[in-house]
Chain A
Amino acid sequence: MTGPANDTRTLAPPAVNPETQAFWDAAAEGRLLLKHCLACGETHYYPRSLCPFCFSDRTEWREAAGTGEIYTVSVMRRGAGAPYAVAYVTLDEGPRMLTNLRGDLDAFRIGDRVRVSFEATDGGPTVPMFRAAG
């Protein structure tokens, strides 16, 4: 390698719809929202209007701490946009979210603590990726 592998992709903006508008409005302000179900108490990701665990429509947005740990990670070494790191991060609130890790891609290990970092897209809201915590 000739130095740290970094993710330098230009990201297409996320697809936003009425059900997820609040998530992306908050993301644009640097806040990570999760959906919490008032009926069964579960927190889920990605966000839905009806809870995927009990199907109640009594779901509300709650702000996440934005911290968690790496459940798994794979660095894409070939093809469009490479290198970049695809990962699941286990949020401290419980749900695991599919995301990207940014920073020194070769340094990430399963179990590492990470913190959310809202990264720019090409003309859309920022998206929740993660960087090494601390």
Chain B
Amino acid sequence: MTIKRKAAIAGVFEHPTRLAPDKSTPQLHAECAAGALADAGLSKDDVDGYFCAGDAPGFGPLSMVDYMGLRPRHVDSTETGGSSYILHVAHAAEAIALGKCRVALITLAGRPRSEAMNRSLGHAPEAGFDGWVGVTNHNSYGMVAARHMHEFGTTSEQLAWIKVAASTHAQHNEHAMLRDVVSMEDVLSSPMISDPLHRLDCCVVSDGGGAIIVAAPEVARELGRPIVNVLGAGEAPKGQAGGKVDLTYSGAAWSGPAAFAEAGVTPQDMKYASIYDSFTITVLMQLEDLGFCRKGEGGRFVADGNLISGVGKLPFNTDGGGLCNNHPMHRGGITKVIEAVRQLRGEAHPKVQVPNCDLAVATGIGGSLGVRHGAATLVMERV
């Protein structure tokens, strides 16, 4: 049993807003849904599967389904933080392969710039042991970067190359929050947030969202759009392992090989990669863990513009990524899938479009890399 070519990504939409003080979060979800349906050439009544994660306000899918007037026969609210939506594409493909639905809608939206978030640990099992530590995303990823530097000699200059590449792409994206091309010196001279991560090692905070339509092959074929098939997927939570903490690798070391094996391709076959970039170190870890380079060699791999479209060997995040374009609701997974689909369709900005882009990967880390996180990897092809 496999999801290989059992479903296609038929529609995508990235909300153009980055600041939405005059909209509600449910409204943003609905606007994204409408955008993705329009992109696919489908209507709301075609949707029979709905997928959302922790950003969806209310009672899981129940509130959003009722708000949007959907009548799904399959719902899934798997929550793995910002990687949820990459995983949702795979889960939607599974449901479609089993005949549980034919047109699945995935939405993400939120307004972290316009209204403060409440991130209480509540009754989480780790609440008593994480709460007083003051662990945040910045210092959690900072701990990972510090250990990577200690083990492998990775440098701040190498991490800065990741931001330089993202900003080189973002200059062409009219919706990107940060469109100025930055230099390595700009990154290194930006304020230290949590050692060794500088401000420009961190992604943007944006209001907004996105949506994806995953459809059965026979539905996708009738839409007259380029066909983007799901080829393979993997997912892997990774945490503190009862105290056997190892910050030198991420769950992508498990989700990546699973996805490539199901797809029957290798990392080296990829023409384009969407790599979750909450921080520069997030990208470096996933490149190693997916097998684009050996463990510990990520620093050398990203240097000298190797991630810049038209310059390096592995064009990544050609929309500018979370580092420069958009990281709606602190969750970058959906925009990773969306830009990969643009590349596969040949609809990326001409300045960053990869020629004959027929194979791509989108991979993400949700939660917090240094504490507990969920990795998800998705391999796609254009027919």
Question: Chain A residues in contact with chain B, CB under 8 A?
Answer: 9, 11-17, 20, 23-24, 42-46, 48, 51-53, 71-79, 81, 84, 86-88, 91, 94-100, 110-111, 121, 127
Known: A76-B194, A79-B136, A97-B243. 14 other contacts (CB 8 A): A15-B123, A17-B123, A42-B242, A45-B242, A46-B125, A72-B247, A74-B139, A74-B194, A74-B196, A76-B139, A77-B195, A78-B194, A88-B245, A94-B243
Task: Give the chain B neighbours of A42 by CB distance below 8 A.
Answer: 242
With A96-B245, A100-B133 as known contacts, state yes or no: A72 contacts B192, CB within 8 Å: no
Q: Within the complex, what minimum Cβ distance (angstroms) separates B346 from chain A?
A: 41
Asked if residues B146 and A73 are in contact (CB atoms below 8 Å), the reply is: yes
Asked if residues A15 and B143 are in contact (CB atoms below 8 Å), the reply is: no
Q: Within the complex, what minimum Cβ distance (angstroms) separates A45 from chain B?
A: 4
Q: Which of B235-280 contact A (CB under 8 A)?
A: 240-245, 247
With A73-B143, A74-B194, A77-B194 as known contacts, state yes or no: A98 contacts B128, CB within 8 Å: no
Tell me, yes or no, whether B138 is within 8 Å of chain A by CB: yes
Tell me, yes or no, whether B355 is within 8 Å of chain A by CB: no
Complex: A13 Cα to B121 Cα, angstroms: 13
Q: Which of B107-131 contact A (CB under 8 A)?
A: 121, 123, 125-131
Chosen A-B contacts, 16 in total, with CB atoms closer than 8 Å, are A9-B134, A14-B128, A14-B129, A44-B243, A46-B126, A51-B242, A74-B138, A74-B145, A74-B197, A77-B191, A78-B138, A79-B136, A86-B134, A86-B139, A86-B194, A96-B243
Complex: A127 Cα to B131 Cα, angstroms: 11
Asked if residues B135 and A98 are in contact (CB atoms below 8 Å), the reply is: yes
The main secondary structure of chain A at its interface with chain B is loop
Task: Give the chain A neighbours of B131 by CB distance below 8 A.
Answer: 12, 14-15
Task: Give the chain B neighbours of A23 by CB distance below 8 A.
Answer: 128
Q: Which of B197-211 contact A (CB under 8 A)?
A: 197
Asked if residues A11 and B132 are in contact (CB atoms below 8 Å), the reply is: yes
Tell me, yes or no, whether B144 is within 8 Å of chain A by CB: yes
Tell me, yes or no, whether B17 is within 8 Å of chain A by CB: no
Asked if residues A79 and B143 are in contact (CB atoms below 8 Å), the reply is: no
Interchain Cβ contacts within 8 Å, total number: 128
Which of B127, B242, B244 contacts A15 (CB under 8 A)?
Answer: B127
Which of A79, A97, A111 contacts B138 (CB under 8 A)?
Answer: A79
The residue in B132, B133, B138, B150 that gathers the most chain A C-beta atoms within 10 A of its C-beta is B132
Q: Within the complex, what minimum Cβ distance (angstroms) separates B373 from chain A?
A: 14
**Beta-carbon nearest neighbor of A53 in chain B:** B242
Which of B121, B192, B240, B244 contacts A77 (CB under 8 A)?
Answer: B192
Asked if residues A71 and B147 are in contact (CB atoms below 8 Å), the reply is: yes
Asked if residues B243 and A127 are in contact (CB atoms below 8 Å), the reply is: no
Task: Give the chain A neighbours of B241 by CB distance below 8 A.
Answer: 52
Task: Give the chain B neighbours of A12 by CB distance below 8 A.
Answer: 131-132
With A72-B147, A88-B143, A88-B245 as known contacts, state yes or no: A98 contacts B130, CB within 8 Å: yes
Task: Give the chain B neighbours of A13 by CB distance below 8 A.
Answer: 132
Complex: A33 Cα to B123 Cα, angstroms: 21
Asked if residues A43 and B146 are in contact (CB atoms below 8 Å), the reply is: no
Tell me, yes or no, whether B367 is within 8 Å of chain A by CB: no
Task: Give the chain B neighbours of A46 by CB distance below 8 A.
Answer: 125-126, 128-129, 240, 243
**Beta-carbon nearest neighbor of A37 in chain B:** B242
Complex: A53 Cα to B242 Cα, angstroms: 7
